């Protein structure tokens, strides 16, 4: 039986449609994958020129991939849980349809020989890539700009930063250009853009989602320990669905693993209100709204102090800058970094005091065990930590440039955020209403290792309890 022709007003074609709803509608053949992709491409054509979120748009390839999904459905085949869902893929994740530039002009022709494992898994589940998400050179900023593709602008207010480094994918998701954005998080690179754009961003536990294939070249220890791939979307259910597809062991990534199934954790949330610099009142108001929502949903909410937070943030910064100086030496790269990335590396490393002795470097890694032990003891009793993504409202574009003082300020805003990277913990960023400045408010929930399900449960309670964001006009 041929399904009726869908209405152009079908909810699955709306800019704020969830990935879960899109896939369900496509599988039921209420809308076709081709129609879903066409609606997203129309929004890209309208919004992307002034937002700079997507660097490459795959108009023809996406339509062909969507047609393949529709043909498989017509033949009675199972096309997967992400049937017809448009996704964007950050410029540093391999997709054979375009170069994996890392936002750097030195890799403008670097077409990968195969898709990254997580891209293969998403495509096998029915997802359709529609574009590449913009990023700074090698993801090395908390704003999104580079010499190859230019700046990504915040759709809520172009005078505010879109965050970084996965800023292009966050803006794409927020404005309905893609339903899921695929990025990564070394020091807040998923959660900060999610906060800036008013979407949901998940930093999975270390190892749960495969990273790039290791092909014999050395990989900096901070990349192995701090950086993860993860999804952004418009709802908690959407990032949970994306994680279910992306996760699992990959033979090409020795850090990847099969996450254990945890026992039921206490429904207890610890609120962290002090993190680096003082917390902006509108950020604090978002935390209060999230805490009230959790209490209403039956969670026990208490005040806590994040253990050894400054120590964790300092160690993350010094170790990261030490490895960046070694791995991003222009002499080894064969070409300088871009203008803004060069300034950021100079200012941040000057402020961070990288380690110049092997003993100091080794001692810093040894101290991580002590910090992790204190966090583990806390989270045995209070599994979920609620706090700010950034203690400040999103600042102006290029706020992380301008000398050591600007570098220090940008880092101090993110102590709680980088602590999760330092310890390899899962963290979920999500909106908590709209601030008086017209920008999204946001919070993050940090769990113990492999406790993503607890974060999703808490995140859904926040999502239900806070006022929804108004639709964007972009």
Residues forming the active site: 90, 165, 189
Q: Interhelix angle for 404-412 vs 339-352, to 10°?
A: 80
CA distance 38 to 36: 5
Task: Tell me whether strands 300-303 and 268-271 are parallel, antiparallel or unpaired.
Answer: parallel
The sign of the torsion formed by the CA atoms of 303, 194, 111, 335 equals negative
The gap between the terminal CA atoms of the chain, to the nearest Å, is 39
Closest CA to 341 of 80, 116, 188, 148: 148
Cβ-contact 89, 129 below 8 angstroms: yes
Helices (H), ranges, 176-298: 191-197, 221-226, 236-246, 281-296
Cβ-contact 429, 416 below 8 angstroms: no
User: What would the DSSP string read from start to end of 300-352?
Assistant: EEEE---TTHHHHHHHHHHHHHHHHHHHT-HHHHSSPPPHHHHHHHHHHHHHH
Using the structure block, give the residue that is written with the tokens 């699992």.
248
Is residue 427 helix, strand or coil?
Answer: strand
Q: Any residues with CB less than 8 A from the CB of 424 and at least 6 apart, and which?
A: 205, 206, 207, 225, 226, 449
């Amino acid at each position: 039986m041929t399904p009726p022709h869908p209405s152009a007003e079908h909810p699955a074609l709306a800019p704020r449609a969830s990935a879960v709803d899109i896939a369900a509608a496509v599988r039921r053949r209420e809308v076709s994958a081709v129609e879903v992709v066409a609606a997203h491409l129309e929004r890209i054509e309208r919004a992307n020129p002034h937002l700079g979120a997507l660097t490459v748009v795959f108009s023809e390839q996406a339509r062909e991939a969507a047609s393949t999904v529709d043909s498989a459905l017509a033949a009675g085949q199972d096309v997967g849980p992400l049937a017809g869902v448009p996704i964007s893929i950050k410029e540093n994740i391999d997709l054979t349809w375009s170069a994996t530039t890392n936002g750097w002009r030195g890799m403008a022709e670097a077409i990968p020989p195969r898709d990254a494992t997580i891209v293969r898994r998403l495509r096998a589940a029915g997802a359709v890539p529609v574009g590449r998400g913009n990023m700074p050179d090698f993801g090395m900023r908390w704003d999104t700009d580079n010499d190859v593709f230019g700046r990504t602008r915040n759709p809520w207010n172009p005078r505010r930063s879109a965050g970084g480094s996965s800023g292009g994918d966050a803006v794409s998701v927020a404005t309905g250009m893609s339903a899921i954005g695929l990025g990564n998080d070394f020091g807040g690179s998923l959660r900060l853009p999610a906060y800036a754009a008013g979407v949901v961003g998940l930093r999975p536990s270390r190892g749960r989602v495969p990273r790039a294939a290791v092909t014999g070249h050395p990989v900096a220890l901070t990349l192995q320990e701090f950086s993860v791939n993860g999804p952004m979307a418009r709802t908690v259910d959407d990032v949970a669905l994306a994680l279910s597809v992306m996760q699992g062991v990959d033979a090409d990534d020795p850090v990847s693993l099969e996450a254990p199934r945890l026992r039921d954790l206490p429904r207890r949330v610890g609120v962290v209100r002090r993190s680096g610099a003082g917390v902006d009142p509108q950020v604090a108001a978002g935390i209060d709204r999230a805490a009230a929502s959790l209490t209403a949903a039956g969670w026990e909410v208490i005040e806590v102090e994040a253990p050894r937070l400054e120590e964790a943030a300092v160690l993350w910064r010094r170790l990261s800058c030490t490895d960046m100086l070694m791995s991003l030496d222009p002499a080894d790269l064969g070409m300088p970094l871009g203008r803004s990335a060069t300034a950021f590396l100079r200012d941040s490393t000057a402020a961070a005091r990288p380690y110049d002795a092997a003993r100091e470097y080794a001692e810093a890694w040894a101290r991580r065990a002590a910090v992790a032990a204190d966090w583990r003891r806390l989270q045995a009793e209070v599994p979920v930590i609620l706090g700010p993504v950034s203690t400040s409202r999103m600042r102006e574009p290029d706020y992380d440039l301008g000398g050591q003082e600007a570098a220090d300020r940008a880092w101090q805003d993110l102590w709680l955020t980088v602590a999760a990277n330092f310890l390899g913990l899962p963290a979920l960023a999500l909106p908590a209403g709209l601030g008086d400045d017209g920008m999204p408010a946001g919070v993050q929930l940090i769990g113990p290792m492999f406790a993503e399900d607890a974060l999703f449960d808490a995140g859904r309670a926040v999502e239900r309890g806070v006022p929804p964001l108004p639709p964007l006009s972009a």
